[in-house]
Amino acid sequence: MKLTRRVKEILSWYESDTPGTKANLARILMEGKLGGTGRMVILPVDQGFEHGPARSFAPNPAAYDPHYHFELAIDAGLNAYAAPLGMIEAGAATFAGAIPTILKVNSSNSLSTTKDQAVTGSVADALRLGCSAIGFTIYPSSEYQFEMMEELRELAEEAKAAGLAVVVWSYPRGPMLDKNGETAFDICAYAAHMAALMGAHIIKVKPPTDVLSLDAAKKVYIERKIDGSDLAKRISHVVQACFNGRRLVVFSGGEAKGTDALLAEARAIHAGGGNGSIVGRNAFQRPKDEALKLLGQMIEVYKGKA
């Protein structure tokens, strides 16, 4: 695998990491149709835990089979596939080495009333399964946020020592925030910055809206004329919050939406300097031919061709 100049530049940002961790980051960045560009499209399939099997897979029953998701990610030419322990175990041998995998090591579920997640996988599991990275969710603003951050700190230290990369889902939610606040411009940037401060190599956040949530932040955003007038400008600010672009940041596809809306979002992420999309339900809930078409169109956006 010969690294492109762009990927070498990105790896240089991670100054404390071992050759093993940088090699695993390179595996993700060099994989698939966007390999070498510094842009990424990743398939995450943790929704069975989060929302239940029928809500996740009944719209496309083929997706109940874990092999389906490996095949979708490979056939679409994506950079990586992220999933909880059981999903990756169910295809680990058949698809060994076929695509970089990210083991999601904590999970929540719809039967819980708390804004917390259980640790459901380990660094040892990730190594055993040949994964390139672990993935971990934190909920800034949750009443359990500090415990989650401490768990992440321990797992990230162990993962990096073993040569794995660390992907952090940073999703603000909790008693201080209403639904609008969870995706507010200032809050998304704050959440992304927290993930960078926690040592994430790749940061996953939701696309920010034009809402400003924290009163203290509103004053600064207005005084300093931080432009959030369109999604591309808001993406650019989130990238700035990720160490001025020295950490990789990808944006979730979120709840089901139409193709035009997804592509418009991808264009804004591309224009704002984001590193790509991590798209789950919007891909695997469609029939496979439609999913492949959508993912192909998104890849063309990130190549700057659409």
Over residues 120-154, the pLDDT tens digits come to 999 999 999 999 999 999 999 999 999 999 999 99
Q: Is the pTM of this model over 0.75?
A: yes
- Report pLDDT for 117: 96
Output the CATH code of domain 5-178+245-302.
Answer: 3.20.20.70
- Report pLDDT for 66: 98
* Cβ-based neighbour number of residue 300 at 10 Å: 15
Rounded percentage of the chain residues whose pLDDT exceeds 70: 100
* Spans of the chain below 50 pLDDT: none
- Report pLDDT for 32: 98
- Report pLDDT for 272: 98
Q: What residues contact 234, with CB distance under 8 A and at least 6 apart?
A: 185, 188, 207, 208, 209, 210, 228, 272
- Report pLDDT for 1: 85
Give yes or no for a contact between 296 and 266, defined as CB atoms under 8 angstroms apart.
no
- Report pLDDT for 252: 95
- Report pLDDT for 254: 77
The residue ranges of every structural domain in the chain are: 5-178+245-302
Among 171, 132, 187, smallest CA distance to 50 is for 171
Over residues 60-72, the pLDDT tens digits come to 999 999 999 999 9
Positions marked active-site: 204
